[in-house]
């Protein structure tokens, strides 16, 4: 193998190796939401439901550094869920979920779908809906 070909093959393998280390959502379509458009998320403990790419998305400001995202549809029978008193609640049949999306009590048995969300200055980056 020629030195130049060897270098190209090595570079390609290195790129693939680095790509494997990145989280899956690094390659997904991403959406940016300005914090000014969702002022409830400027304060810790704030929450808002927005519609993005035909998906209802519940965003919760967990801490100064973290916003979490969930599909805002209950896993029981698809009613909307909302953030209430430090948990996520479905008012249809009263399922409760913790702030990781896990069921605290049913009738729902499956966790809420989590959506990758990251804070980037004055923007919220949402990926992989
Ligand atoms: S639809 Fe949410 S608990 Fe039934």
Q: Which of 71, 80, 84, 92 to mutate to test the pocket of ligand 1 (most atoms within 8 A of CB)?
A: 92
Q: Which residues line ligand 1 (CB under 6 A)?
A: 74, 76-77, 79, 90, 92-93, 95, 107-108
Q: Please give the model's pTM, rounded to 2 decimal places.
A: 0.76
Give the model confidence (pLDDT) of 57-83 as tens digits: 999 999 999 999 999 999 999 999 999
pLDDT of residue 23: 54
Would 97 be classed as within a structural domain? yes
Would 44 be classed as within a structural domain? yes
* Residue-wise DSSP of 62-126: -SSS-EEEEESB-TTT--BEEEETTEEEETTT--EE-TTS-EEESS--SPPPEE-EEEETTEEEE
CATH code for the domain in which residue 61 is found:
2.102.10.10
Mean pLDDT, residues 112-122 taken together: 92
Per the structure, how many domains does the chain have? Answer: 1
- Say how many Å lie between the CA of residue 89 and the centre of ligand 1: 9
């Amino acid at each position: 193998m020629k030195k130049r070909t060897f270098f190209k093959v090595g570079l390609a393998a290195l790129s693939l190796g680095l790509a494997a280390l990145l989280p899956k959502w690094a390659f997904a379509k991403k959406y940016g939401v300005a914090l000014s458009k969702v002022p409830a998320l400027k304060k810790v403990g704030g929450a808002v439901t927005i519609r993005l790419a035909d998906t209802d998305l519940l965003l919760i400001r967990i801490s100064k550094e973290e916003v979490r995202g969930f599909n805002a549809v209950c896993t029981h029978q698809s009613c909307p869920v909302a953030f209430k008193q430090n948990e996520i609640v479905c008012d249809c049949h009263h399922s409760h979920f913790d702030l990781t999306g896990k069921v605290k009590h049913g009738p729902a048995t499956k966790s809420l779908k989590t959506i990758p969300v990251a804070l980037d200055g004055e923007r919220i980056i949402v990926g992989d809906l």
